[in-house]
Structure 1
Amino acid sequence: MNTSLAEHHASPLPPGAQAPDFTLPATPDQKMSLSELRGAPVILAFYPADWSPVCGDELGLFNAALDMFKRYQAQFVAISVDSAWSHAAFAAQRGYHFPLLADFEPKGAVAKRYGVYRAAEGVSERALFVLDGEGVVRWSEVSPISINPGVDGVLDALQRLASTPQQDLS
């Protein structure tokens, strides 16, 4: 469900924009760069915080959908402003099988570049981006922070990307 951006005070990168590259901690001692994932679709899920009920439910749903994403050769990556240590504990406790990247210091720098940082709260919006293999945004959605957006929009975007790779999918 697309909602009004004015409601969120966010201006996410639009379809057709080149997704900014970044390098963020994936674990306390390892980093991951977006550019490492080029050549296949990437799903970026920005979420407000580890340990919150809606975020845990959302990421659990995406964890359960990983096999569906793999059908499109898509990599799923989640990003929040929490530390790599918090992510490590959260992922271990919840059994997540995808990278949780720490947009911790400088806080929210990547979320800001994607237009989904909530400065008043110091967290990112609940936002999803589907990138093509060249790192171009093909679909994005910002959801209310208290609502789990589910996976249907992502799966629809991946299906459209597979059938029409050069079009914006919004």
Structure 2
Amino acid sequence: MTIQVGDQAPDFELKDNHGAPVRLSDHRGRQNVVLVFYPFAFTSVCTDELRALRDGQGRLADRDTHLLAVSTDSVHTLRVFAEQERLEYPLLSDFWPHGDVSRAYGVFDDSKGCAVRGTFVIDREGLVRWTVVNALPDARDLNDYVEALDTL
């Protein structure tokens, strides 16, 4: 079951592309969070989406929002991917236990072994305020996230 608007966002701790722990709860009371699940690093649609987020990150920061991107890739894969694509925001590894956080948000595809394209806008209090879940081939639009943030 996918997390719905109005639900408390499940807290988690994952390692980022540098191996540092990142907790969703670290942002509670301080910043909104855009939590983006994507299938795999180095794939065309994912790369295009993450580049768009890189290029539009200022639009999120202007809205006092922190970006967290999650895939089931390993920390090492994410480190190389972030360096290659010049991604300066955290890429979080939901590698092991495999897909646990993706499952908690209801965006894990068991048949593919990865997350589908799910995005959750989470307010400072930890409530999900907007969400979209797309199939693997369907890219998302940063403008939708910005519009959702503008309603907070």
- Out of 56, 79, 83, the residue aligned to residue 65 of structure 1 is 56
Determine the structure 2 residue equivalent to 1:94. 85
What residue number does 1:138 align with? Answer: 129
Alignment of 1:37-116 (within 5 A): 37-38=27-28, 39-116=30-107
**Total equivalences in the alignment:** 151
Q: What secondary structure does 1:48 align onto?
A: coil
Equivalent-residue separation in structure 2 for 1:159 and 1:131 (angstroms):
12
Structure 2, unpaired ranges of 5+ = none
> In structure 2, what residue type is equivalent to 1:20?
P
Say if 2:35 and 2:69, in contact at 8 Å, map to a contact too.
yes
Counterpart residue identity of residue 26, structure 2:
E
Give the Cα separation in 1 of the matches to 2:55 and 2:19: 26
Query: Which amino acid in 1 is paired with 2:32?
Result: P
For residues 2 and 49 of structure 2, the distance between their equivalents in structure 1, rounded to whole angstroms, comes to 19
Match for residue 26 of structure 1? Answer: 16
- State the superposition RMSD in angstroms: 0.9
AA aligned opposite 1:137: V
1:17 is aligned, of 7, 12, 30, to: 7
CA distance in 2, matches of 1:29, 1:68: 27
The DSSP-based 3-state class of the residue aligned with 1:128 is: strand
What's the offset of the Cα at 1:27?
3.1
Preserved CA contact (<8 Å) 1:103 1:111: yes
Cα deviation code 1:22-60 (max 9, x no counterpart): 000113531111111122110000000001000000000
Paired letter, 1:68: R
Worse-superposed segment, 47-56 or 33-42: 33-42
Tell me if the contact between 1:129 and 1:140 (Cα under 8 Å) persists in the aligned partners: yes
Structure 1 stretches of 5 or more lacking a match?
Answer: 1-10, 162-170
Deviation at 1:122, TM superposition (A): 0.3
